[in-house]
Amino acid sequence: MTGAELQHNLVQRSPRYVVSGMDFNDLHRIIRDVSTWEEWLVLVGRYASERLALADQALEQGNMITAAEHFTGAAIYFHFSQLGYFDDEKRKRETARRSREAHRCAFDLLEPPVTQLRLPFREAELVANVRLPAVAGGAPAVILLPGVDSTKEEMITFESVFHRRSLGTVAFEGPGQGESGETLPLVEDYEEAVRVLLDALTEVPGLRTDRIGLYGRSMGGYLAPRSAALELRIKAVASAGGPFDLRGWDGYSEQLKQFFCHAWGVSSLEEGRERASRVTLKDLVPRIQCPFLVLHGDADRIFSGDEGRRMAAAATCDTTLVIYPEGDHVNDNIPYKYRPLVADWFAEKLS
């Protein structure tokens, strides 16, 4: 990838970076100054380290809200600095670890605070960050599933949209995702990991375990309806920018194929193509019994809006289809439209 191609790639991804917590001004300066993924990793990491220093300074001054803001900012920057970087797996993981550590420093400073669950699963460990607003009788909650290249840390800014509507959040990393993905690849029966999470949530005080929803972005938008079809404890499910299947594999970008292969733990694109051929919701969507929100964008360059139309057409449950003509991948370029819509929908369905 040439420098110009990398910068074009980063510009296309910039709505996702900004809506997840990167400052537009930082991003503008960084993209202008990078021509390799190595330079991106280093420069974004510097901005992350600056935020860590500001967080420590705020702690010393007793400004706890400011410290939380800077710690979560550092977590987001470290996360995105290693996104797209595949030259050195050890270095990639070390940067991801710094993201998690920065976020962990904010757990008790945030409102609502974060309780982390670490759940044994197939000789590995799943991780979930639970945040529950104080609600009489307990709060309904929405499990937030990332895609093949996102993590629980990327959900930080989205979580607050739910909290303002008295909904709890459970930012989850299943097999092949984030921290969990370092020891376990993305499995075909992902719903089994969701079952383990649901079992664990029954022990969390302040949570309405009979009112749990499931939201997935990008590949999580495939995993969420798949899991809801096979796990009836889910009371509402939303797919945002997810694929109906992966039959478009040969048309995907090289980078997207790398993300999938990395998550699946396969070493070649040929192995990736074979794995992709088995990814489909064809026989699963008709089995969903709870309310189903399908959210997509017709300007999505990764999974077209037709993927969402296929999901809605196959559904037999109470289904809402929303496709924004101008929406890019997961509609990250129009967060003021899709984020309130998703949170309001869950607030209604889980009430």
Task: For 335, list phi and psi in degrees, rounded to 5.
Answer: -65, -25
Cα separations (Å) of 238 from 21, 48, 224, 246, 290? 22, 32, 7, 19, 10
178 close to 158: Cβ distance less than 8 angstroms: no
Q: What pLDDT, on a 0 to 100 scale, did the predictor assign at position 123?
A: 85
Q: What pLDDT, on a 0 to 100 scale, did the predictor assign at position 238?
A: 98
Q: Which residues of 291-301 are buried (b: 16+ CB within 10 A; e: fewer)?
A: bbbbbbbeebe
Task: For 341, list phi and psi in degrees, rounded to 5.
Answer: -60, -45
**Residue 171 forms beta bridges with which residues?**
129, 144
Q: What pLDDT, on a 0 to 100 scale, did the predictor assign at position 301?
A: 93
- Which pLDDT tens digit goes with each residue over 253-297? 988 998 899 899 998 999 999 999 999 999 999 999 999 999 999
Output the CA torsion sign for 134, 138, 142, 144.
positive
- Which pLDDT tens digit goes with each residue over 73-124? 999 999 999 988 888 989 999 999 999 999 999 999 999 999 999 999 998 8
pTM > 0.85: yes
User: Which residues does the chain have with pLDDT short of 70?
Assistant: none
Which residue carries 């499910």 as its tokens? 237
- Cα separation, 148 vs 256, in Å, equals 9
| Domain spans of the chain, in order of start | 3-106, 115-245+280-349
Q: What pLDDT, on a 0 to 100 scale, did the predictor assign at position 290?
A: 98
Q: What pLDDT, on a 0 to 100 scale, did the predictor assign at position 193?
A: 97
Q: Span 3-106: which CATH code?
A: 1.20.1440.110
Q: Which burial class, exposed, middle or buried, applies to 128 when counting CB atoms under 10 A from its CB (0-12, 13-18, 19+)?
A: buried
Q: What pLDDT, on a 0 to 100 scale, did the predictor assign at position 86?
A: 83
- Cα separation, 346 vs 140, in Å, equals 9
Q: Which burial class, exposed, middle or buried, applies to 240 when counting CB atoms under 10 A from its CB (0-12, 13-18, 19+)?
A: buried
Topology agreement, domain 3-106 and domain 115-245+280-349: no
Q: Span 115-245+280-349: which CATH code?
A: 3.40.50.1820
